[in-house]
Amino acid sequence: MGELRFRITSTSDPSCFDGGSDLLSPSKLRPWSVPLLRLASGTQIYKPVCEHLVAEGLVSQKLSQRCRLIWTNSFGGYFDGHPPHLFHHLKQPFFLKFTSYKRTFALWVVKEEKTSKCELRRPTSKVTGEPFFLVL
């Protein structure tokens, strides 16, 4: 589906884009991003950004509407808390900081018109605190 990221380049010249690097999240483990599903959610904070992406032709109106439908069907149009981990296909990589998830870790699998929540319970060993499963 896509996501919004920021790119750091040596100058403001668009030709430098390929030589730049993604702005990283505070953890420095992955790029900072906002999933398109969240941008198209209809919330006031993201609505102007999504409208601009559609106006610029970077996102089609049809895709924007589909994303909003998925978001509404999945979260009732509202999601409180950290952005969910959204998955569109099984080979999609993701980062998991095991020390942050003592009890459960939720994954949201995007389907045709909604998402399904999948919870991984106790992703670390009770004895050692070390990871006991591998996600590829």
What number of residues does the chain have?
136
**Mean pLDDT across the stretch 45-72?**
91
Q: For residue 78, what pLDDT is reported?
A: 56
Q: For residue 134, what pLDDT is reported?
A: 45
Q: Which helix (H) or strand (E) holds 47?
A: helix 47-55
**Mean pLDDT across the stretch 19-46?**
87
Tokens matching residue 42: 């209809």
Q: For residue 7, what pLDDT is reported?
A: 93
Rounded to the nearest integer, the mean pLDDT of the chain is 77
Q: For residue 101, what pLDDT is reported?
A: 56
**Mean pLDDT across the stretch 88-116?**
69
Question: Residue 112 class from Cβ within 10 Å (0-12 exposed, 13-18 middle, 19+ buried)?
Answer: exposed
Q: Where are the domains of the chain?
A: 3-121
Distance CA 83, CA 48 (A): 19
DSSP letter for each residue of 63-122: HHHHHHHHHHHHHTT---SSPPEEESSTT------GGG-SSEEEEEEE-SSSEEEEEEE-
* pLDDT reading at 87 higher than 60: yes
Q: Is 76:98 a contact under the CB 8 Å cutoff?
A: no
Whole-prediction pTM: 0.66
**Mean pLDDT across the stretch 5-12?**
93
pLDDT band at 81 (very low <50, low <70, confident <90, very high): low
Choose between 128 and 90: higher pLDDT. Answer: 90
* pLDDT reading at 26 higher than 50: yes
Question: Residue 38 class from Cβ within 10 Å (0-12 exposed, 13-18 middle, 19+ buried)?
Answer: buried
Of 83, 87, 91, 82, nearest to 135 by C-alpha is 91
Choose between 9 and 95: higher pLDDT. Answer: 9
